[in-house]
Amino acid sequence: MAKNRTAFSKPVIFTDFDGVLNTFPDSKVLRRGGVNKVLSWAKPDSPYAKLYDPANAFHTDGNEVAHTPEGSWRIHWSSELSDAMYRLAADGLAELYWLSTWQPYCEQQLDPLLGWDPQLVEVVTWYDPITNAWRGTGKWQTILRHANIENRMDRPAPLVWIDDDECTAQRARQLEELQPKAPILMIRPDYRIGISRRQWKLIDTFVRQPEQFSAVTFDMEPSCATQNIHHGF
């Protein structure tokens, strides 16, 4: 088990956007009115009903188009979920960082859409948006670097990494090899619904009581195991 909470600094959350907060329901769901209408047409025992059940998936009331110099993207998100994540930072319970390919546009596009204060939410510069250098390795190197930094601290910060693609069992094993001094929580959502209610409860508990967790905890939403990777920004 981990040390007492008093041995840790404030937890740090690194979050992706696409497939985590921005959901990618399949075309059938979108054609029939969106994720919030699924239970009106799906059979109770169908995979659709199970995946999009309000007890499992957050209500996606956000539906906007984000415009960037590279194009426009429609995004679907849950304000309940995004507000809850932001409150952890606003209430001083965690530090919140964007670790997303939206890196150049987090402050100008994502923060205003979600109602997040860019002065409170940091953006990690992990790849070159001009040359795309480090785009394939930058996220992992960011997490690895921070884990190593925390290992040198007297009061290390617990880390939360949320990514529907790069959070894997292999990465969890590599982090375990570092023998982290503070717990690390890795969350891999199903990109069709983003962070599930079960996963959010795990994140919230970790931030408030990291001492209850082992050195590295990897949680993958069971329904995402056989899904293809989404095509976001």
By CB neighbour count within 10 A (0-12 exposed, 13-18 middle, 19+ buried), where does 39 fall?
middle
Rounded to an integer, what distance in angstroms lies between the CA atom of residue 142 and that of residue 94?
Answer: 18
DSSP letter, residue 55: T
In the chain, the percentage of residues whose pLDDT exceeds 90 is: 78
Taking CA atoms, 207 is separated from 76, 124, 203, in Å, by 25, 20, 6
pLDDT tens-digit readout, 16-74:
999 999 999 988 888 898 888 898 999 999 989 999 999 999 999 999 999 998 899 99
Rounded to an integer, what distance in angstroms lies between the CA atom of residue 142 and that of residue 124?
Answer: 8
Query: For helices 197-208 and 79-90, what crossing angle results, to 10°?
Result: 0
3-state DSSP assignment of residue 4: coil
Rounded to an integer, what distance in angstroms lies between the CA atom of residue 215 and that of residue 13?
Answer: 16
pLDDT of residue 233 exceeding 90: no
From 219, 214, 172, 181, select the one nearest 9 (Cα to Cα). 181
Rounded to an integer, what distance in angstroms lies between the CA atom of residue 16 and that of residue 24?
Answer: 14
Q: What is the mean pLDDT of residues 97-118?
A: 96
pLDDT of residue 1 exceeding 70: no
pLDDT of residue 228 exceeding 80: no
**Alpha helices, H only, 77-218:** 79-90, 111-114, 138-151, 169-177, 197-208
Q: What is the mean pLDDT of residues 78-106?
A: 97
Phi, psi dihedrals of residue 219, rounded to the nearest 5°: -125, 120
Structure token pair of residue 221: 């939403």
pLDDT of residue 3 exceeding 70: no
From 90, 120, 125, select the one nearest 105 (Cα to Cα). 125
Rounded to an integer, what distance in angstroms lies between the CA atom of residue 15 and that of residue 103?
Answer: 11
Q: Quickly tell me which residue has 């239970």 as its tokens.
A: 39
What does the pLDDT read at residue 30? 86
Q: Please work out, in degrees rounded to the nearest 5, the angle formed at the alpha carbon of residue 203 by the alpha carbons of 78 and 12.
A: 105
Phi, psi dihedrals of residue 194, rounded to the nearest 5°: 70, -155
pLDDT of residue 230 exceeding 90: no
